[in-house]
Structure 1
Amino acid sequence: MKKLILSGLMAVTALASTMNAQIQKGNWLVGSSLVTSNFGLNTGGGYNIALQPKGAYFIKDNVAVGGYVNLGISKVTNGSPTRFDYAVGGLGRYYLSPGEKGVDNLLNHGRWFFEGNVGIGGSSVENGNSTTGLDFGAGPGYSYFITPNIGLEGLVKYNGVTGFGNEGLTSTLTFNVGFSIYLPTSKAKQVISEVK
């Protein structure tokens, strides 16, 4: 029984040390969010789907900077015009350490983070309304590590586009669900060399 308890404690300690390893300086984050903020369940209901690939490099422990692309399509109702959303820009993430500022992780296999982005983006609707300009957003998220290098993520985010066009400012509050892969620099170099 003592051996079983000792083995369990060693496994938990090893997992906790690998959780810190993926968000250390020099590592890479590659992932995507699938945004689903509205699916109409009634007859003629609408939908809102967007794909947001992103990549970032950890410039220091718990801090990553990188870029993102946003491509989306939506309809309010079945008969309404289709809306296309697009954006490209830079993003930053800050991961909270366990116990930092009184915030503990709800689960032992995850990490809270804050994400912000700024770039160029817009939206275009079939009836002619459009907005193009500054794309920005910010919000909190949580990454649950299903393996030491793969995180399942949830992110609540305010997104806005302000600039030129028929609409001066468009803004939304979205709930994003996606995944991220955390790669040490050595693994990233190996993947790149295999692709070549």
Structure 2
Amino acid sequence: MKRLFFFIVFSLSLTLNAQLTKGNWLVGGSGEYTSQNFNNDNGDSYKREYITIKPSIGYFLKDKFALGSALRFEKLDIHKVYGIGLFTRYYFLKTDKPFNLFAQLHYDYAHTVSDIVSNSDNSENSSLYGARFGQVTFFNSVVGIEFALVYERGNLSSSDSNTFKAVLGFQIHLEK
């Protein structure tokens, strides 16, 4: 029985390497939910919630290095954000590992629409750029889940912002 268990574990471990090689595709994305409580100068408190979803697709130009594009959908209080962006991603460990570390740089061009009805234009364009560092754990040679820390800077919703957050992502690595 012990030998059967070790054989199964060994067999599964052989298939846990991801397709991080030149010519393969990376399809997936990430999402987040944020809830923040604020107190203003008058002593009043309020809550700010937003949801972000970023589906993405990339192509491995060389082993462990992908270039890709992402969409951005965000619901922030009274604002909706729609965007498109570019990213580069590099994996640090060997391609045959069941987990890997990565770094990603991105730039997003976003269009924000406000739900407030006024006589002036209720939309604006923004630029956001940032870095993402994280770990991906592969369930098999194709599917991985990732946890990352993200720093993002930009001018979203008429104000400059510096954001540091944790995100959860899901990736599918497709062979040529």
For residue 22 of structure 1, give the secondary structure of its aligned residue in structure 2: coil
The whole-number CA distance in structure 2 between the counterparts of 1:74 and 1:118 is 19
Greater relative CO, 1 or 2 (CA 8 Å, sep 6+): 2
- Structure 1: runs of 5 or more not aligned: 76-81, 99-107, 186-196
Counterpart of 1:37 in structure 2 is: 34
Which residue, out of 95, 102, 112, partners 1:113?
Answer: 102
Contact 1:28–1:183, Cα closer than 8 Å, also in 2: yes
Q: CA RMSD in A?
A: 3.0
Which residue, out of 60, 76, 83, partners 2:79?
Answer: 83
Range 56-65 or range 149-158, more displaced: 149-158
Contact 1:58–1:64, Cα closer than 8 Å, also in 2: yes
Calculate the TM-score normalised by the size of structure 1: 0.69
Deviations 1:13-55 (A, max 9, x none): 523xx51x51111110100211123277xxx744211110100
Which residue, out of 27, 33, 45, partners 2:24?
Answer: 27
When you count helix as a share of all residues, which structure comes out higher? 1
Which residue, out of 61, 64, 75, partners 2:63?
Answer: 61
When you count strand as a share of all residues, which structure comes out higher? 2
Q: 1:9 to 1:150 in 2, by over 3 A?
A: closer
Calculate the TM-score normalised by the size of structure 2: 0.76
The whole-number CA distance in structure 2 between the counterparts of 1:124 and 1:171 is 20
Q: 1:131 to 1:154 in 2, by over 3 A?
A: farther
Aligned residues: 163
For residue 139 of structure 2, give the secondary structure of its aligned residue in structure 1: strand
- Equivalent runs, 1:85-164 vs 2, <5 Å: 85-98=81-94, 109-127=98-116, 132-162=125-155
Range 46-55 or range 1-10, more displaced: 1-10
Identity %: 25
